[in-house]
């Protein structure tokens, strides 16, 4: 038997962590359709990460705006990319997961980009703890015409699974999970139009109780707008699907519990720390 003193334990733990990180591949999946205007920012933000073992997979839905030319231009930065018709954003995400090889999987939207080049390193360091199944952090919304101007902060600091009933989830572009849980609990439900990510997080974090770590850092910049927040009709559909996802998994909720979250979003406009 070897008895470790405090100094020896710290050194041994550090060595184990370094060994663990040396074998940790991260798969980042970006799905897109006619996204040539912004996709390059997403690709570069992944390519510029200081962490070395990343595979970036782009799934394009047969775009007509020159996206394929952009992907060919950046092929050295991409592990894999395909351009073909699909059945929507969540079908494309499922395709990307199936093509991936990494032990850790994250999603980055085609018009989003990482806050800085240390984001993935910090995510991987969190996963060095074998008790951690999933990781998420904060997201900021930026002005599409001025990417340095923050217009809203989406913080998951106070989030917990009980928040699902009120329409809150961790910011999905900041969410990373061990691939084994997609294999064990399934991929995205493609009959959702907007909220399959919400249903997925309920399934993983509420139903199956994955152990998660919150990183108190800004991880992703998102251009203001997007499918799930673009207009009144989209919000109606989004919230209807959130109610459906909650009820499917035994969470009691209704529109009266979910719609007050929009008042809280007003306060997020002033959180830019």
pLDDT tens track for 31-45: 999 999 999 999 999
Banded pLDDT at 228 (limits 50, 70, 90): very low
Asked, for residue 8, whether it belongs to a domain, the answer is no
Q: What percent of the chain has pLDDT over 70?
A: 84
Q: pLDDT at position 100, please?
A: 98
The CATH number for 144's domain is: 3.90.550.10
For residues 156 and 198, what is the distance between their CA atoms, to the nearest angstrom? 14
Banded pLDDT at 18 (limits 50, 70, 90): low
Residues 136 and 58: beta-carbon distance below 8 Å: no
Interval 65-98: pLDDT, tens:
999 999 999 999 999 999 999 999 999 999 999 9
Q: pLDDT at position 203, please?
A: 98
Asked, for residue 102, whether it belongs to a domain, the answer is yes
Mean pLDDT of the chain: 88
Name the domain count of the chain: 1
For residues 100 and 93, what is the distance between their CA atoms, to the nearest angstrom? 11
Residues 34 and 65: beta-carbon distance below 8 Å: yes
Q: pLDDT at position 235, please?
A: 85
If you search the block for the tokens 């035994």, which residue do you land on? Answer: 250
Exposed/middle/buried for residue 175 (C-beta within 10 Å: 0-12, 13-18, 19+): buried
User: Rounded to a whole number, what is the largest CA-CA distance in the chain?
Assistant: 66
Q: pLDDT at position 20, please?
A: 53
For residues 205 and 251, what is the distance between their CA atoms, to the nearest angstrom? 13
Asked, for residue 12, whether it belongs to a domain, the answer is no
pTM of the model as a whole: 0.87
Q: How open is the CA angle 234-236-241, to the nearest 5 degrees?
A: 95
Q: pLDDT at position 258, please?
A: 86
For residues 168 and 130, what is the distance between their CA atoms, to the nearest angstrom? 27
Residues 213 and 207: beta-carbon distance below 8 Å: no
Query: Does 232 score more than 80 pLDDT?
Result: no
For residues 103 and 66, what is the distance between their CA atoms, to the nearest angstrom? 32
If you search the block for the tokens 């997979």, which residue do you land on? Answer: 57
Task: Determine the structural domain holding residue 126 and report its residue range.
Answer: 25-268
Query: Does 200 score more than 60 pLDDT?
Result: yes
Asked, for residue 233, whether it belongs to a domain, the answer is yes
Asked, for residue 17, whether it belongs to a domain, the answer is no
Interval 159-199: pLDDT, tens:
999 999 999 999 999 999 999 999 999 999 999 999 999 99
List Cβ neighbours of 201 (8 Å cut-off, separation of 6 or more). 164, 169, 170, 172, 175
């Amino acid at each position: 038997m070897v008895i470790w003193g405090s100094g020896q334990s710290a050194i041994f733990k550090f060595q184990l962590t370094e060994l663990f990180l040396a074998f940790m591949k991260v798969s980042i999946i970006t799905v897109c359709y006619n996204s040539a205007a912004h996709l390059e920012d997403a690709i570069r933000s992944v390519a510029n990460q200081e962490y070395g073992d990343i595979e970036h997979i782009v799934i394009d839905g047969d775009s007509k705006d020159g996206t394929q030319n952009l992907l060919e231009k950046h092929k050295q930065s991409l592990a894999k990319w395909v351009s073909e018709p699909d059945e929507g954003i969540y079908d494309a995400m499922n395709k990307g997961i199936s093509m991936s090889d990494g032990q850790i999987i994250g999603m980055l939207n085609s018009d989003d980009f990482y806050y800085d080049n240390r984001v993935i390193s910090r995510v991987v360091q969190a996963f060095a703890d074998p008790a951690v199944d999933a990781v998420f952090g904060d997201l900021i919304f930026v002005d599409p015409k001025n990417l340095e101007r923050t217009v809203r902060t989406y913080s998951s600091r106070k989030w917990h699974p009980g928040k699902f009933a009120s329409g809150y989830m961790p910011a999905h572009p900041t969410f990373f999970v061990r691939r084994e849980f997609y294999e064990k609990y399934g991929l995205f439900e493609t009959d959702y139009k907007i909220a399959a990510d919400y249903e997925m997080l309920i399934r993983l974090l509420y139903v199956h109780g994955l152990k998660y770590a919150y990183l108190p850092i800004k991880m992703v910049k998102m251009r203001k707008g997007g499918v799930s927040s673009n207009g009144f009709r989209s919000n109606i559909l989004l919230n209807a699907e959130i109610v459906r996802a909650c009820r499917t998994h035994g969470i009691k909720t209704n529109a009266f519990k979910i719609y007050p979250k929009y008042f809280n979003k007003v306060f997020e406009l002033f959180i830019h720390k």
